[in-house]
Structure 1
Amino acid sequence: MHKPKVVLITGASSGLGKATGEFLAARGYRVYGTARNPSRYPDFKSFPLLAMDVQQEESVSHAVNALLSREGRIDILVNNAGVGITGPMEETPYEAVCNAMETNFHGPLRVMQAVLPAMREQGSGMVLNVTSIAGYMGLPFRGVYSASKGALEIASEAYRMEVRPFGICVTTLAPGDYATNIAAGRFHSPLREGSAYYESYGKSLELMNTHVKDGGDPTQVARAVYRILSSRNPKVHYTVGSPLQRLSVRLKQLLPDTWYERLLRNHYKL
């Protein structure tokens, strides 16, 4: 009888991470999630939560070592922890830019560096990096977020080729907009009276919040993760979202840059 696979999901106290963890646990996986401060979720019963701050190397190592001590192996890593950020590129405080990159890009790399030696030793493993459809294009007033997720997409391609000889697979899943609490925790550059971007940023901010509020069910992402984990030969990249969001990625590949830019400007009324 096969032992259930051990899954580590970062940022799993709510949203896509929690939905994915619950979905996998119901299908026999041994799921462990992470949160910066698990004590803030005293009623959380879905699966064990380990303390991990992906911005802190020591915190990452401690959580990974604790899980390895408990289970002896990590079969699957789902790098899901992330933060939202909006604002005009010119006016976004650089400290906020660095914070987003630390969580959305450097964070997953830290966790991979901590987990990969154990996967290499066991001769198998899968890393699924959760990116974003926004990472395929430079979205106005979400440029920092797009850049952080786009960087993870590209780094994952390189990682995938490097670790393949060790029996480890790296892939990415880029969700569109889903009904989660990311908007509540997102860093918003303030809408400043007198700013050159006051009108255009204000309209775009309303549009972005509406997209998240009216977003899909996070269980769709959980199902997509499950399908990928069940695949014999996972692809390099996957997307999940509304037909229009997934089409936007394809159009980006097919259309001349200026045509695609015009579509985005029309969408954001710029």
Structure 2
Amino acid sequence: MSKVVLITGGSSGIGKSIGEFLHHKGFTVFGTSRNPSNYKNSIFPLLELDVKQVSTITAAVQTVIDSKGRLDVLINNAGAGITGPIEEIPEEEIKANFDTNFFGPINVIKAVLPQMRGQKSGLIINVTSIAGYMGLPYRGIYSASKGALEILTEAFRMELKPFDIEMTNVAPGDFATNIAAGRYHAPLKEDSPYNASYGKSLELMNAHVDAGSDPEMMAKAVYNIINTNKPKIHYKVGEFMQKFSIVLKRVLPDRVYEKLLMNHYKI
């Protein structure tokens, strides 16, 4: 019997790539989108779900269970980017980003747990980010939201062990997706004290995404995780230097690592 998989944010980018890969491997895949009617050519069903609206989460999860009688894998992939000087990002945008990247995944997890506990099995994969392992200039809110999800997973997976439910993180680096187009960008103000350095950093961030890896790399990593009996707590997927940056943070003095980041972002 093929495993039943639910992927939030499955209409484009990494989520779509994961869904298509698993579909071709014989999994029963359901994706989600805030507006599934906009994606007529999806090769797997797309359910309406907005991670900021609990009622849509409950309805989508129930649809999967009613249709297939079980839910084996949740991939918490839906997320949003945000850039800007922390001082200049409106508070409502900061809260909106955490609603999508942190509180949203929590609510999806809560919705699937009763079914997984009842069937005495399940796997939850939280898609975080390599950016969540470090505070990146002008991406501080994004780093914080993804870092919070990383830490939450460490605690959550221990609480779920008695129910034979596994949880893990997979942190991607830069991939060639449309995430940059969907980011909230704090305006680049002419009179801002951050104008020059934020402008340079913004160009660099967009270039990284444009030159990013093929999202199929993430799809293959997720497939391997699903087929692992005892998943690790953390996985990192991306180019060597992106993953190596996490190692450097562990071994270098804080100020040396900070200087490396500032040089990289031309601050």
Same structural fold, with TM-score higher than 0.5 when normalized by the shorter chain? yes
SS state of the match for residue 199, structure 2? helix
Paired with 1:201 and 1:151, the residues of 2 have a C-alpha distance of: 24
TM-aligned CA deviation for residue 160 of structure 1: 0.4
CA shift digits 1:157-186 (9 cap, x unpaired): 111000011000000000000000000011
TM-aligned CA deviation for residue 36 of structure 1: 0.6
CA shift digits 1:221-266 (9 cap, x unpaired): 0011011111121100000000000000111111111111111011
2:16 to 15, 18, 28: 18
1:135 to 132, 135, 139: 132
Percentage identity across paired residues of the two chains: 59
- Read off the aligned partner of 2:264 and give its amino acid letter: H
Paired with 1:133 and 1:6, the residues of 2 have a C-alpha distance of: 28
Equivalent runs, 1:211-222 vs 2, <5 Å: 211-222=208-219
Aligned to 2:141: 144
1:206 equivalent to 2:195? Answer no
CA shift digits 1:84-130 (9 cap, x unpaired): 00000000111111111000000100000000110000000000000
Unaligned runs of 5+ in 2: none
Would you identify which runs of 4 or more consecutive aligned residues in structure 1 move more than 4 Å? none
SS state of the match for residue 87, structure 2? coil
1:269 equivalent to 2:266? Answer yes
TM-aligned CA deviation for residue 45 of structure 1: 2.8
Unaligned runs of 5+ in 1: none
2:237 to 237, 240, 251: 240
Paired with 2:82 and 2:43, the residues of 1 have a C-alpha distance of: 28
Aligned to 2:123: 126
Indicate if the aligned counterparts of 2:135 and 2:144 stay in contact, CA closer than 8 A: yes
TM-aligned CA deviation for residue 83 of structure 1: 0.5
Paired with 1:10 and 1:69, the residues of 2 have a C-alpha distance of: 18
Indicate if the aligned counterparts of 2:11 and 2:42 stay in contact, CA closer than 8 A: no
CA-based RMSD: 0.6
TM-score between both structures, scaled by the size of structure 1: 0.98
2:58 to 52, 56, 61: 61
1:170 equivalent to 2:167? Answer yes
SS state of the match for residue 90, structure 1? helix
1:188 equivalent to 2:185? Answer yes
Paired with 1:118 and 1:126, the residues of 2 have a C-alpha distance of: 12
SS state of the match for residue 51, structure 2? coil
Equivalent runs, 1:248-259 vs 2, <5 Å: 248-259=245-256
1:83 equivalent to 2:80? Answer yes
Count the aligned residue pairs. Answer: 267
TM-score between both structures, scaled by the size of structure 2: 0.99
